[in-house]
Structure 1
């Protein structure tokens, strides 16, 4: 019985080219920066939203990551 990850002939799988990984890496990086903004910066002074709903939603995560908020 052959293993599904092994290509016939015993050769290893080809590496994924950088031009195929780069768009996904940029997308994940932008999502990370957006999440970091909402957890770390969205507090009221430079907030996108006028209410404190975002601040209260990420409040515990903010303290867990070491961002001061009061």
Structure 2
């Protein structure tokens, strides 16, 4: 005779209610600030690092981010 996969004593047992995970804002805030700073730096390098606002001499940053500019819709030439 075949045995059931779950014994009858465990099959009818009620499950505890799901409790949502709570993360304090003070734990999230440093990561949110870091993401904001990195996102702003990325946006600057992809969108504005050329011409009058250039921080680095030459065109190597422009060439490195060239495809990203077109993908995000920034004009570059």
Please give the TM-score of this superposition, normalised by the length of structure 2: 0.73
Give the alignment partner of residue 47 of structure 1, picking from 48, 51, 54: 54
The total of aligned residue pairs comes to 62
Within a 5 Å distance, the mapping from 1:21-60 to structure 2 comes to 21-60=28-67
Runs of 5+ unmatched residues, structure 2: 1-15
- Larger proportion of helix: 2
Off by >4 Å, runs of 4+ in structure 1: none
- Contact 1:44–1:50 under 8 Å retained in 2: no
Please give the TM-score of this superposition, normalised by the length of structure 1: 0.80
- Contact 1:38–1:58 under 8 Å retained in 2: yes
Runs of 5+ unmatched residues, structure 1: 1-8
Higher-Rg structure is 2
Residue 53 of structure 2 aligns to a residue whose secondary structure is coil
Work out the CA distance in 2 between the residues paired with 1:14 and 1:29.
24
